[in-house]
Each structure stands twice: as C-alpha cells, then as structure tokens.
C-alpha cells in the first residue's frame, strides 16, 4: 500500500548486495558451482514503505516468512530439482498476474502476448514446468463478487445493513481493514477470495488432482505487481492448507523477475502459456474490464443493473470527483439514482471512505478499493525508479498497453464455466463457498494459523 511519507519507516526494498553494488548473479552454466545454487541472490526483505501497514509493523514471524519469499528461495527449488533424488523433486508452477504483463511488454518492447511468451520461455528455460495466467482466477473472483452484491442488495435494510460492499481483491487494503480498522468495516468486505487465493486453490487442488500429485509436491510461485501479495500468501484459509501446503509458496514481484532476467545469459526460446487443462495452451492474452486493475466495479455494475433492474449497460461512464483516483458511476432512471458505485484508490481516498462509513453518511452501494494510487499497474513491485518513486513515463506506457489488451467478460469464459462443473460440482454447490469465499478477522480477534495478530 502506498502510504504518506510521514508514515513510511524505511526505504524501498533492497538486498544487502544492492546497497553496495549490483547483485552478482552467475550464468545458468554455473549450476554445478560450489554454492549448489543457480544464482547468488541476497535475501530480499519487506519494509513498511512497500506494504500496507500504515500504522503498525509486521510481526517478527511474519517478517521472517515474507523474507523467505524471494528469488533465492525460487532458485533453491530449481537447484533441488537438478541435484537431489527424483523422489524429492517439486513440480514448479508459476502464475503471472495480468497487471504484471504490461510491465514486461514495456521492458521487452514487445506486444503483451509476445512478452507473455518471452517470459514463459525464460521461466521454462530455468526449469519451471508450468506457467499460468491468473486471469482465470480473477474471473471466478469477479463472478462470485457479482452474485454476492446482488444478494447483499436484496437483503439490505437499515436494521441489518449489508451495504456498501467493499471489494476484497487487494491484499493491502484487506490487511489494513482487518488489522487496523476492524468493525464496522470488515462486515462490508466482499467474501469472495482474491485472484491469488483462488489461483492457489486451482493449482494446489484442481491441477494437482488432475496431475495425480499431492499439493506439497507442487511449488507454486506468483508473479505480481506489488509486495502486499507476499503477505497475502501467508493466509491459509483455503482447502490445501489442511494438507500442509499453502496456495502460494513464493511471491516474486515483476521487478524481481526482471532483475533475474537482466542478470542471466540464458538463451530464451518463446513458449506459449499453459492452461490448467493439460495440453491446451493460451492463444492470446485477455483481460477484464478495468483501466488498471481487474475491473470489479465495471463487471459488478453491469451485472447488478441487469439482475436488479433489467437494465443493459454497455460502456461504463466514470465521473472523477475529488481526484483522478476517486471516481463515481451511477445508474439512473427517470431522474432516480438506482445504483451508485465508486472506485477509491490510494491511502487518502481510503481514509475518506472509511470516515464516511463510520459516520453513517455513506452514499455508495459498492466501492472498488485498491491500496495503491493509480491502481494495480502502479504497484510498488514494478514501474519504480531507482530511488523508489513511480516511473510516470513507464506507467503511462503500461496503461496504454493494458488498455489495448482485448477484454473478455468472465461470463463468456468456457474454461471458467467448465471448472465450475468439473472442479466445484456446479455454480451453487457447497464446494463453491469453501473454495471461493473466505472470512475476515478484526483487531483483537484470535488470528488463524500463521496470520498472527499485531
């Protein structure tokens, strides 16, 4: 989460080597070197300015667990697969967030689909077995959010308010809501799991069973635009946790991946991105309808307009209010406002939302909340200058690249519909609640598993 300077406690994440000089990364040809690792990377650490904790710090245990999610851990598994007994090998799967792809496209000076293939080829050249796109998981999250909003709207009353519904896909925002805000904010969080959480279940549950593997035989890496995803990986409220395996074993930022690529002399051969369905490959990159995110507001708005008022909405019209990161969308009929949605990005806008909510003067039915100003494309794990500030020129380029990616509504995804039936036994089965929804804790409540309270 991007926080005001007065609340930052450290500089942008750096390794010890980076403080003094460039990181020494040998070529892959040195895989039989003395250290027994492909690359010599210092431990990356997470600091307050890179996460959401605006008025608290991560616990020592959490800090240790997060520090282990780095390139060194990634290469440790790659090295084990080269060195050890076959029975100890891990299947390496990497899932890439859609908002990371424009960063790679800008860096490689390629189209987003070609950049995706280049990244996939590089990872497979390192020894990764499967590379997935998390857009399919975002599709599940959006569809479940749509259904939940309609249910909340229909049961909402002054005595038992179910609205507004606040999105829960951003881990920085969710953690801030749980650890700092608590009630009355957390009951308004959408219970649909985030794309990262759902992708963890897809890989460690559905894909593992399809490949006849136990979840702990898969080492699952997420490539994401922000550091908050590393903290999110510590949550264990999904089915695979009972098998002793987290959904995401390691989270690497887009910037960390670029650093690995820049310091490697591996000859890259482009490769198509995998799907969860065996031999099928992703033909072309698709996104959901958001300017810099997965577009929960637009998708939920259209669905609610149709389901609640039988209104077909084409292009969603945003109206900028306080600043470019606070926008409003309304559905009106005969002069009456039927739906009022908002998008609130960045710490200051979030604070305004929370203040109005606590005072009971909240005019919105739904708010898409993102911790980073500018949305997910502006995550602190990418598009940053060396001194830790946003690279505005690169960000504008990424926004243009992202806008040009064709949009595919999740309702039209044959793979999502197939998975609802094959993996979850139907769209309304008890399995859906278990696999795609979660619960939230608040300050003072007992933390679950590794998610230690402050």
Looking at the structure, tell me whether residues 233 and 85 fall in a common domain: yes
Please tell me the distance from the alpha carbon of residue 96 to that of residue 204, in angstroms, as a whole number. 16
Within a domain: residue 146?
yes
| Least confident range of 151-160, 276-285, 363-372, 407-416 | 276-285
d(CA 415, CA 398): 27
Judgement on whether residues 319 and 396 belong to the same structural domain of the protein: yes
Specify if 19 maps to a domain: no
CA dist., res. 78 & res. 69, Å (int): 14
Q: Is residue 188 very low, low, confident or very high in pLDDT (cuts 50, 70, 90)? A: very high
φ, ψ of residue 430 to 5 degrees: the values are: -60, -30
Rounded Cα distance between 260 and 94, Å, is: 15
Span 360-377, average pLDDT: 92
Nearest to 279 by CA among 210, 228, 340: 210
Specify if 39 maps to a domain: no
Q: What is the pLDDT of residues 251-298, one digit of tens each?
A: 999 999 999 999 998 888 999 999 998 777 777 888 888 777 889 999
Residues 6+ apart with CB under 8 A from 78: 38, 92, 126, 127, 128
Residue 237 sits in the same domain as residue 341: no
CB atoms within 10 A of CB 440: 19
- CA 254/CA 227 separation, integer angstroms: 10
Say yes or no: 163 and 248 in one domain: no
Q: Which residue, 42, 43, 38, 50, is CA-closest to 22? A: 42
Q: How sure is the predictor about 48, in pLDDT bands with cuts at 50, 70 and 90?
A: very low
Same structural domain, 239 and 378: no
Whole-number pLDDT of residue 3: 42
Partners of residue 384 on adjacent β-strands = 390
Cis peptide before 164 (omega within 30 of 0): yes
Residue 45 belongs to a domain = no
pLDDT for 422: 95
More confident residue, 4 or 342: 342
**Domain count for the chain:** 2
241 plus 165 within the same structural domain: no
pLDDT exceeds 60 at position 40: no
Among 294, 63, 280, CA closest to 190: 294
Residue 10 has pLDDT above 60, yes or no: no
Q: Is residue 390 part of a domain?
A: yes
Q: Are 180 and 453 spatial neighbours (Cβ–Cβ below 8 Å)?
A: no
Q: What is the DSSP letter of 131?
A: E
Which residue's entry shows tokens 């793979």?
Answer: 415
Query: How buried is residue 393: exposed, middle or buried, by Cβ count under 10 Å (0-12/13-18/19+)?
Result: exposed
d(CA 109, CA 84): 38
Same domain, 204 and 129: yes
CATH code at 170?
Answer: 3.40.950.10
Q: What is the pLDDT of residue 205?
A: 94
The per-residue pLDDT for 68 is 66
Kindly report the number of other CB atoms within 10 A of residue 243's CB atom: 13
Please tell me whether residues 206 and 351 are part of one structural domain.
no
The order of strands in the sheet holding 91-96 is 130-133, 91-96, 218-224, 250-253
For residue 446, the model assigns a pLDDT of 36
Q: Between 151 and 32, name the one with better pLDDT.
A: 151
Cα–Cα dist 187/400, whole Å: 36
> How does the average pLDDT of the chain come out, rounded?
82
Which of 235, 161, 230 has the alpha carbon at shortest distance from 193? 235
Q: What is the DSSP letter of 179?
A: I
Looking at mean pLDDT, say which of 10-24, 106-120, 158-172 comes out highest.
106-120
Of residues 93, 128, 127, 132, the one with CA closest to residue 116: 132
User: What Å distances lie between residue 260 and 7, 19, 82, CA to CA?
Assistant: 31, 17, 19
Tell me how crowded residue 221 is: count the other CB atoms within 10 A of its CB. 25
pLDDT tens per residue across span 66-85: 666 778 889 999 998 988 77
The mean per-residue pLDDT over the stretch 118-145 comes to: 96
DSSP lists the bridge partners of residue 250 as 221
Residues 189 and 200 in one domain: no
Average pLDDT (98-123) is 95
Question: Residue 166, SS3?
Answer: strand
Is residue 238 within 8 Å of 201, Cβ to Cβ?
Answer: yes
- Residue 129: give its domain's CATH number: 3.40.50.1780
For residue 26, tell me if it sits in a domain: no
- Given 3-state DSSP classes, what are the helix, strand and coil percentages for the chain, each rounded to the nearest 5? 45, 15, 45
Task: Identify whether 65 is part of a domain.
Answer: yes
Residue 377 and residue 137: Cα distance in Å, rounded?
A: 18
Strand ordering across the sheet containing 336-345: 165-166, 366-370, 336-345, 326-333, 319-320
Q: Which of 394, 331, 325, 398 is nearest to 365 (CA)?
A: 331
Verify that 161 and 256 share a domain, yes or no. Answer: no
Q: Let me know if residue 269 belongs to a domain.
A: no
Range of the domain at 82: 53-136+196-263
> Do 332 and 224 share a structural domain?
no
Indicate whether 220 and 320 sit together in one domain: no
Tokens of residue 64, six digits: 């240790």
> Of the ranges 194-198, 234-238, 282-286, which is most confident?
194-198
């Amino acid at each position: 989460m991007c926080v005001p300077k007065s609340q930052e406690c450290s500089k942008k994440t750096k390794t010890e080597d980076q403080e003094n000089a460039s990181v020494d990364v040998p070529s892959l040809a040195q895989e039989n070197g003395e250290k027994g690792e492909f690359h010599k990377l210092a431990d990356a650490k997470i600091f307050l300015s890179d996460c959401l904790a605006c008025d608290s710090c991560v616990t020592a245990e959490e800090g240790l667990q997060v520090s282990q999610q780095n390139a060194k851990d990634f290469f440790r598994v790659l090295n084990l697969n080269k060195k050890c007994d076959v029975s100890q090998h891990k299947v390496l799967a990497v899932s890439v967030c859609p908002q990371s792809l424009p960063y790679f496209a800008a860096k490689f000076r390629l189209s987003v689909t070609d950049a995706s293939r280049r990244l996939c080829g590089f990872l497979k050249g390192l020894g990764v077995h499967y590379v997935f796109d998390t857009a399919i998981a975002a599709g599940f999250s959006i569809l479940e959010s749509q259904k939940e909003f309609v249910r909340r709207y229909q049961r909402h009353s002054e005595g038992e308010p179910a609205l507004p519904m606040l999105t829960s896909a951003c881990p920085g925002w969710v953690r801030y809501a749980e650890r700092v805000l608590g009630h009355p904010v957390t009951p308004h969080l959408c219970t649909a799991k985030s794309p990262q959480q759902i992708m963890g279940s897809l890989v460690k549950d559905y894909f593992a069973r399809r490949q006849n593997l136990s979840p702990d035989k898969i080492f699952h890496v997420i490539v994401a635009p922000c550091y908050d995803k590393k903290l999110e990986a510590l949550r264990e409220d999904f089915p695979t946790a009972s098998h002793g395996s987290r959904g995401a074993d390691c989270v690497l930022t887009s910037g960390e991946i670029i650093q690995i690529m820049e310091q490697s002399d591996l000859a890259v051969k482009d490769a198509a991105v995998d799907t969860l369905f065996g031999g099928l490959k992703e033909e072309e990159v698709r996104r959901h309808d958001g300017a810099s995110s997965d577009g929960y507001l637009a998708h939920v708005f259209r669905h609610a307009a149709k389901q609640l008022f039988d209104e077909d909405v084409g292009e969603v019209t945003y109206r900028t209010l306080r600043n470019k990161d606070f926008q409003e969308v309304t559905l009106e009929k005969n002069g009456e406002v039927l739906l009022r949605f908002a998008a609130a990005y960045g710490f200051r806008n979030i604070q305004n939302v929370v203040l109005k909510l606590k005072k009971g003067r909240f005019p919105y039915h739904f708010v898409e909340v993102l911790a980073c100003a500018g949305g997910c494309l502006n995550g602190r794990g990418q598009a940053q200058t060396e001194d830790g500030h946003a690279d505005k020129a690169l960000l504008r380029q990424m926004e243009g690249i992202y806008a040009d990616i064709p949009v595919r509504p999740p309702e039209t995804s044959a793979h999502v519909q197939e998975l609802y039936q094959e993996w979850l036994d139907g769209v309304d089965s008890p399995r859906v609640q278990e696999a795609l929804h979660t619960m939230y804790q608040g300050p003072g409540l007992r933390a679950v598993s590794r998610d230690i309270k402050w």
